[in-house]
Amino acid sequence: MKFSFFHLMPWTDLAEVPAEWPARNATFDPVRGKELYDSYLATMAHAEQCGFDWVAANEHHFSPYSLMANCNLIGAALSQRTSNIKLAMLGNLLPLLSPIRVAEEYAMLDVLSGGRLVAGFVRGIPHEYIAYHVPPSDSRARMKEALDIIIKAWTEPEPFGWEGEFYQHRAVSIWPKPFQKPHPRMLLSASNDESAEFVGQYDAMIGMTLIIDLDIAAQTIDTYRKVSRAHGRDPGPESVLLSQQTCIADTDEEARAHLRKALDYFHGKLMRPQQDAQRIVLQKTRFFTDDQQREFFVQRLVTHKTRSLEEQIDAGSVICGSPETVVKQIARLHKHLGAGYININMKIGDMPDAVVRRGMDLFRDRVLPHVTDL
C-alpha cells in the first residue's frame, strides 16, 4: 500500500460560529495567517521524511474551512521544499475554472517538480458554485468538456481550436507542456455510482471521500472497475484512493480524545456556513441528476455528522487509535475495498500541530513498516 498526507489548511481561531454563508472575514488576521501557512507548509514538507508517497492539497472558497483557495500555489511552494514525494493536487474544481489555465498551471507544476505531479480534478461540493457564480446544474457537462480540453492541451503537438458548449478557443498551444508523458497521472473523485461511471470512462484513478458504509463504497469501486474494463482498462488497487480523517497517538484513548475535540470544532464551526449554502443549492438546482442521488449525498453528510466517534471508527469512516490499532484499521480498509492508496488527513479542525506531528512520526515508525506490503 501507498499513503498520501493531506492538509486542508483550516483557520483554527474561530471564536464564534459563522452565522451565514459566506463566512464574514472581518476577524481574519494576516499575521496569524502567515504563521499558519508557515506551519502548514513545514508540516506538509515533513511528510516526505515520514515515508508518505504523496503530499496532497485541494481547493475551497469563501470559508475558514480552508485557507487554500488555489492549491496549485501550495504545490509550487512544496516543489521547492521537497525532492522525491509526489505532489497530489486533489484537486482543482474543474467546472468552476478555465480549463486552459488549469492545464497550464498543472504543466508548470509537473515541470517544476521534475514530473512529480498527480493531477486531481474534482467537481466539488454544492456550495462552491455559489462562490464562483456557476450554475450547479451544468457541473457534470462542464466537468467533462473541461477535462477533454485539458487532455488535448497536454498531448496535442500542434495548435488547435475548440468550439464546445461551454468553452471556445480559437487556438490553444500551451507552454510548458507536462514533464510526464503523455501526461501526469490523473485522479477523479467519486462518491456514488453515477460519479464512478464517469471516472471509469477515463484512464484515471478513483478517489473516494467520506466513507459511510464499506459495502456501499465497495459497490461504487466495483462500478468504476466495470466501466473501466468496458473501456479496455483493468484497474487494480493502485487505481483506488480512499481519503480518511486520521488521528494516531500513543494510546487509543489519547487518539480518541484528540479527534473528538477536533471534530467538534470541524463540524460545529468550520462546516456550519457550508451546510447552509449546500441546502440552498440542493433545494433550488439540479446539482444531481435525480432525487435519489441528491438524497444519497444529503444522508451521507447527516449520517456522518450524527454518528459518535466510535460509530465512525466501526463504519470505516475515520482512522483513529494507537499505531497497533491503526494498522488493523488500514488492513481492514484494504481487504474490504481493495484500495492501494489511503489519503490521510491529520489536521482536522483545530487539532494541535504538535499532535499532528506526533501522529506523523508514529505513522513512520510504528505503522508504515506493517502496512506497506499489504
CA-wise closest residue to 187 among 353, 5, 58: 58
Residue type, 162: W
CATH number at residue 181: 3.20.20.30
- Asked whether residue 42 carries a pLDDT value surpassing 80, the answer given is yes
Q: What are 12's three cell numbers? A: 483554527
What pLDDT was estimated at residue 126?
72
In this prediction, residue 22 has a pLDDT band, given cuts at 50, 70 and 90, of confident
What pTM was estimated for this model as a whole? 0.93
Distance between CA atoms of residues 91 and 119, nearest Å: 7
- Asked whether residue 329 carries a pLDDT value surpassing 60, the answer given is yes
Average confidence (pLDDT) over 59-79? 95
- Domain total of the chain: 1
The highest-confidence range among 264-278, 284-298, 312-326, by mean pLDDT, is 312-326
Distance between CA atoms of residues 170 and 161, nearest Å: 5
CA 176, chain centre distance (Å): 26
Domain around 11: 2-371
